[in-house]
Structure 1
């Protein structure tokens, strides 16, 4: 899309009609910010996701519009596109492109028996796409955006399994107002949070890189980040996996059993290396997202099937 398109304004009536008055069967999910519905505009046939923000303790109209204009300036193929908004009366709604395959989390955890697990290369393509979205926010957006809440439930998938980051990670819409960091209580419990966060209560680009490492580990293992049903030493995904990083012979133990052994050994080592780099304890030695994007770009296709003399071109 055109980089300076402002988000479109919708009336509350248009959005109510697109969701048949916010019917429960159109509910896609809910979170701390409110509810998300699937909607369809009759005249254009366009399907969208409509986020109805919780109005409790809500910021004023001016802040809401400032946030909307910030979000509408962010354009990248690995970010979910904000199509428009509604600020009628005290209603606050945001309209996004619809992501038919839902969240990455829904394709890794508790998948129904009739659903095909994601293949190794699809997983690596998702990692690469999410990394590109983060790289854009960190290095191309002006001013830079710290994502803050990266997790597999915030990585959405289109019909071709292209990854797009949902803005629930970084948008400061809703009851938080303009607090730059979310309290350690909320963030620190979900297993995606960098170790320094507990000490400093500050989220930085390097803490995003750490959270990205956790997502790569989820893609490799298909495991929950925190799983109370597992034996104590396996409850925390990072703590369980870390000791294996140093021993290449143990890498196969990390792999999601649903892959049934179908993955490239070299690709696995490289993916583990990316996760390990991102998950380093010391924030300053974690890589930049640009380096992560480059490393992952070689893992998204079966390079060994290319003729010997072909050179992998950089995009």
Structure 2
């Protein structure tokens, strides 16, 4: 979804995909009968020729908790995208989808797989490898897909990294809801602070 074997997906298209997927999850979460997608991952995002994202394969989706219930219980979907509390308890909430969306944001930033056994042991799990970089703007540059060759918005990268860090919070209640995610992503489409030198970048984050 993010890259082919030869040509990396341009930054603007990555942001467009993230926003479209976020809108899809927000729609599900906020409907008259809220739905938790449960198995959100890149292979379940369908792109048209304009890179407009649509969610597909609702086979594992679950109706959200009703009344005074705080969660629904179910077996875990794809583990590398699954929120830690969901893996541990099987308790599913809309916050679980938000965590999965955070994994998508990491893939957009890095161009990496969520799990890649071909990488060194400390880099195989994308979330574990990337988390320390997200909270440190001086290390953030090391996270970004090098195949983009600085053809991305620095401000958008910083905002998406902050958003990913929030979505991947180990504390479910600290994660934003998908409406907040959509609101944060929307203005990033119009940022065009591209193609600057590493020296300039170092000054910006100093």
What TM-score, normalized to structure 1?
Answer: 0.56
Matched, 1:221 2:110: yes
2:11 to 97, 120, 130: 120
Matched with 1:98 is: none
Matched with 1:197 is: 86
Matched with 2:42 is: 152
Q: Report the alpha carbon displacement of residue 273 of structure 1 after superposing the two structures with TM.
A: 0.6
Matched with 2:162 is: 273
**What is the alpha-carbon root mean square deviation over aligned residues?**
1.9
| Aligned-partner Cα distance in 1 for 2:108–2:25 | 17
> Greater strand percent: which structure?
1
> Greater helix percent: which structure?
2
Q: Report the alpha carbon displacement of residue 155 of structure 1 after superposing the two structures with TM.
A: 0.8
Any conservation in 2 of the 1:224–1:237 contact (CA below 8 Å)? yes
Any conservation in 2 of the 1:154–1:169 contact (CA below 8 Å)? no
| Aligned-partner Cα distance in 1 for 2:148–2:59 | 29
Q: Report the alpha carbon displacement of residue 117 of structure 1 after superposing the two structures with TM.
A: 2.1
2:23 to 123, 132, 157: 132
Matched with 2:203 is: none
Alignment: residue pair count? 185
Q: Report the alpha carbon displacement of residue 248 of structure 1 after superposing the two structures with TM.
A: 0.4
Q: What per-residue deviation string (whole Å, max 9, x for no partner) do you get for residues 210-268 of structure 1?
A: 00000011011010101111111101100001111221011111111221121121111
Long gaps (5+) in structure 2:
63-71, 195-206
What TM-score, normalized to structure 2?
Answer: 0.84
Summarize the alignment of residues 255-274 of structure 1 with structure 2, pairs less than 5 Å apart.
Answer: 255-274=144-163
Matched, 1:208 2:93: no
| Aligned-partner Cα distance in 2 for 1:216–1:267 | 12
Long gaps (5+) in structure 1:
1-103, 173-179, 306-315
Instruction: Kindly name which structure, 1 or 2, has the bigger radius of gyration based on alpha carbons.
Output: 1
Q: Which has the higher contact order (CA 8 A, sep 6+)?
A: 2
Distance change >3 Å, CA 161–CA 254, structure 1 → 2: same
Q: Report the alpha carbon displacement of residue 304 of structure 1 after superposing the two structures with TM.
A: 6.0
**Which secondary structure does the structure 2 equivalent of 1:128 belong to?**
helix
| Aligned-partner Cα distance in 2 for 1:280–1:142 | 27
